Amino acid sequence: MAEITRSLFAADVLVAEIDPRRVAPSTLLPAEAAQVARAAAKRRREFAAGRLLARRLLGRLGVPEAFELLAGEDRAPIWPAGVVGTISHTSSRAAVAVARAGDVLALGCDLEHDEPLDEGILRRVCDPREREWIASRPLAQRGRLAMLVFSAKEAAYKAQYPLTGKILEFSDLSLDLDPGGTFRAAFQTDVGPWRRGQCLRGRWHRAGGLIATAVTIRPGETGPGALHAAARSKKEGRSGG
Ligand SMILES: CC(C)(COP(=O)(O)OP(=O)(O)OC[C@H]1O[C@@H](n2cnc3c(N)ncnc32)[C@H](O)[C@@H]1OP(=O)(O)O)[C@@H](O)C(=O)NCCC(=O)NCCS
């Protein structure tokens, strides 16, 4: 299967994808399985797909196969010490990206079906400036561009979260999309180490009926604020072995 997310990341970020319909929940390790024991079958498959991919990639970074990638109370995965990562899934594709924490501070990835975003959701996701930009585009493209804005904000949200612990509103980020496949997400308020107006940079790609977006935050791109992740992995006392 061609990896839709490969072009979104530099070579020091490992990526893997799979169709979650091909993954059995029985591939989960015991504590992982317990976290979704009461979930619907589709959710258990998605969760298992993310864990299966993560295990493969973590193995390439030297993390033992027995490492259980648990979800925190906030639902964010608790990556082993020394590793950052991100997970996304749709009904037909799951993607995981991981990197060494020395190279990358945080990753965020999002996959969506390449379909028009529902009008009601569009009004919640897009600010007036983004709506104006979408309205300036050909009618046939608008709904899918709105979906792209939605996905890029989700990817930016996931990337900033391990560093700030902040749950953002869609209005906290304002998007500028470049047709060539890059975007900037500008903070509309101070968040963690970022001041209002500072940007996260990302990439986007469309293929096979999907939209994929990703943000990579490198050391030096955040100022002196990357404390949340370090404090958290210390608190959890988790190790990648
Ligand atoms: C986390 C969130 C973005 C997930 O998006 P989604 O499109 O529903 O689902 P995806 O498949 O793309 O991503 C789900 C994965 O994100 C990861 N995730 C969950 N919460 C996360 C967080 N706070 N930070 C980073 N990653 C998180 C998990 O790995 C999850 O998969 P898993 O439960 O199987 O491990 C979304 O559900 C959420 O919590 N949103 C609240 C904040 C928000 O959206 N604000 C507006 C954007 S600025």
- Give start-end residues of each CATH 3.90.470.20 domain in the chain: 6-108, 111-217
pTM: 0.93
- Between CA 118 and CA 87 the distance in angstroms is 24
The best mutation among 75, 163, 188, 232 to test binding of ligand 1, ranked by most ligand atoms within 8 Å of the C-beta, falls on 75
194 lines ligand 1 (CB under 6 A): no
Nearest to 193 by CA among 162, 224, 171, 219: 224
Give the CATH number of domain 111-217; options: 3.40.640.10, 1.20.5.50, 3.90.470.20, 3.90.870.40: 3.90.470.20
CA of 108 to the centre of ligand 1 (A): 9
- DSSP characters over 74-109: TS-B-PPTTEEEEEEE-SS-EEEEEEETTT-SEEEE
Give the model's pLDDT for residue 43.
97
Query: pLDDT tens-digit profile of 43-56?
Result: 999 999 999 999 99
Say if domain 6-108 classifies as CATH 2.60.40.1260. no
Nearest protein Cα to ligand 1, atom 9 = 88
Q: Which two tokens stand for residue 172?
A: 């906290």
* Binding site membership of 173 for ligand 1 (Cβ less than 6 Å): yes
State how beta strands 106-113 and 173-178 pair: unpaired
pLDDT value of position 223: 53
Residues of the chain with pLDDT under 50: 224-241
pLDDT value at position 229?
A: 45
For residue 94, the ligand 1 atom closest to its alpha carbon is: 11
Candidate from 44, 47, 87 with most ligand 1 atoms within 8 A of CB, to mutate: 87
What pLDDT does residue 97 have?
98
